[in-house]
Structures are given as C-alpha cells and as structure tokens.
C-alpha cells in the first residue's frame, strides 16, 4: 500500500489491527456501519445480525443478506495470531 502525495508514492509499512490497538468489536462496528466497503459496484449487503449463534453453538460476528438473497456470514480476526488461536467446535 502506498500514500500518494505531491505526485510521489511513499510505501506504507504493513500494520495489523492488533498493532493499532483495535479489538474485534471495533472492526465489527466499522464493518457494520460501512458494509459497502466489502461490496463491488453492483452488489450490496444488509446486516441482519451480530454475534448470531448457530445450532452447534458457534457464532458469526456479522450476518448479512446480499442483494441476491444469499446469507453471508462474516468472521472477523484482527491478525494471524487470532486466526491460529481460533477454536472450532
């Protein structure tokens, strides 16, 4: 990723949400209020649930419905460590 300023591109260092001191709940709120950032031009999604439990007592961070009527489950992880520590039922 680059920051372009005065016609000059400066490479930005990679940073994780964890490095920024953000929790999954912070990222969840950003996505919930700006869900269109995940959509292409002709797509849209509507958030219909947060922390929804399934029949096996698992949870999805956000549940949405896309413009085609498909259910979209969104799982948020701050960084690789969160992914590696994920416990599946």
The answer to the question of residue 70 being in a domain is: yes
- Largest separation between any pair of C-alpha atoms in the chain: 54
The answer to the question of residue 27 being in a domain is: yes
Give the separation between CA 7 and CA 64, rounded to whole angstroms. 39
What domain count does the chain have? 1
DSSP summary character for residue 41: T
Q: How far is CA 7 from the centre of its chain?
A: 31
Q: What are the mean pLDDT values of the chain's consecutive 10-residue runs (89 residues total)?
A: 92 88 90 88 87 80 92 84 65
The answer to the question of residue 3 being in a domain is: no
pLDDT value of residue 52? 83
Domain limits for position 55: 22-84
The answer to the question of residue 47 being in a domain is: yes
The answer to the question of residue 10 being in a domain is: no
Angle in degrees, CA 55, 82, 31, rounded to 5: 70
Give the separation between CA 63 and CA 72, rounded to whole angstroms. 6
């Amino acid at each position: 990723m680059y920051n372009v300023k005065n016609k000059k591109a400066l490479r930005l260092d990679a940073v994780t949400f964890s490095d920024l001191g953000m929790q999954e709940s912070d990222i969840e709120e950003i996505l919930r209020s700006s869900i269109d950032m995940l959509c292409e031009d002709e797509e849209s999604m509507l958030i219909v649930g947060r922390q929804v439990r399934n029949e096996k007592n698992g949870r999805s961070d956000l549940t949405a419905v896309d413009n085609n009527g498909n259910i979209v489950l969104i799982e948020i992880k701050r960084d690789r460590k969160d992914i590696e520590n994920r416990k599946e039922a």
